[in-house]
Amino acid sequence: MRAPLLRVEHLCVTIPSAAGPIHAVRDVSFSIHPGERVAILGESGSGKTMTALSLLGLQPPQARVSGALTFKGRSRELGLHTDAAAPVLADAGVIFQDSLSSLNPISRIGTQLIERLTLRGWKAGAARSEAARVLRHVGVADADARMNAYPHELSGGMRQRVMITMALLAKPSLLVADEPTTALDTTVQAQVIDLVRMLQAENGMSLLLITHDLAMAAEVCDRAVVMYAGYVVEDVPMAELLRRPRHPYAAALLGSLPRLDAPAGEPLETIEGEPASALGHFACCPFMQRCRHADPRCDGAVPALQAVTGLHSSRCVHHARMGQMESP
Ligand SMILES: Nc1ncnc2c1ncn2[C@@H]1O[C@H](COP(=O)(O)OP(=O)(O)O)[C@@H](O)[C@H]1O
Ligand SMILES: [Mg+2]
């Protein structure tokens, strides 16, 4: 197998708070291979954004980060200095949920795009035509006129296209997209996702898509890293996740998907109970309180991430039994 483009090992992110340390990310390891599309999947608060931010060196200043990162063959310990972490992934393109706060509100779109290239040694004239070319390519009509606009003058969908242009101008080998469509209405959501898929296929770049939406992840990605309470609970090829998840939390996510064959009006299964707290340490499986398969084996310690196959692992002591159950 080829070497991974990105390998994350034992990433931990802890943020001090008045109530005690918040363990946002707990011992997270995963890889992304060249051209692979990986989803980080989990409900709100599971540590997805903090994982991405700390890989990019963009975690809150008070956060304590540890772990190691290998990107394109270069390895680095994380958290030694926050600044030192950033250059390792400097080549990644990034799209965040909130394009309004990611773009400079008092600078024209064109200026921001052109600057992105001139910082990399482009001449101003060439940078302007390249920015306009990429804007047109991502579906912005009258790109030249749009370049004179300020961010607030554009619609949410249009701004997200500008963000994507920004991310692509640097010709990244990895695109990190954190809930790129959450702020958009459904039609525009589908357009932006189609665009991300098209660009990924065209450029052969790897994709790290962060989302709470399994349907979207399944549409776009080859692999899922399922997070719960800061832990990776399942790392699984997408087809296998849809067929036979090996962690009850992943199975519950699957159960909450609308099914094409379900009778109209049938309520969706929801995951009962409260999401686990990010405060303190667990002395049991973090999903135990919400899990219908829980038994005394789940108590006493956090289960280790165990190999199901060479390409699939689960943090559930019952993963073998889950594999024998009827698929959902
Ligand atoms: N700036 C912050 N300060 C303190 N706690 C934070 C901060 N950002 C996130 N957290 C906490 O860290 C945990 C993980 O958050 P996050 O990575 O944003 O989750 P997700 O992206 O999966 O919704 C949550 O408990 C959240 O409340
Ligand atoms: Mg998030």
**pLDDT by 10-residue block (mean), the chain, 328 residues:** 90 95 96 96 94 89 93 85 57 78 89 92 94 91 92 90 88 90 82 88 92 93 97 97 95 81 60 82 93 94 94 95 72
Q: Give the residue numbers spanning the domain of 155.
A: 97-171
**pTM, entire model:** 0.91
40 Cα nearest atom in ligand 1: 22
pLDDT for position 120: 87
Test site for ligand 1: of 28, 50, 225, most ligand atoms within 8 A of the Cβ: 50
Number of compact structural domains in the chain: 1
pLDDT for position 189: 85
Q: Which residue has the tokens 């692509």?
A: 168
pLDDT for position 265: 59
Alpha-carbon distance of 42 to 22, in angstroms, equals 18
Alpha-carbon distance of 50 to 40, in angstroms, equals 11
Alpha-carbon distance of 28 to 236, in angstroms, equals 14
Return left, alpha or beta for 45; rule: phi > 0 is left, psi -120 to 50 is alpha, else beta.
Answer: left
Residue 50 CA, ligand 2 centroid: distance in Å: 7
pLDDT for position 85: 46
Nearest residue (CA) to ligand 1, atom 17: 47
- Ligand 1 neighbours (beta carbon < 6 A): 15, 17, 22, 24, 42, 44-50, 60, 278
First to last CA, the chain: 31
Nearest of 132, 101, 131, 136 to residue 115 by alpha carbon: 131
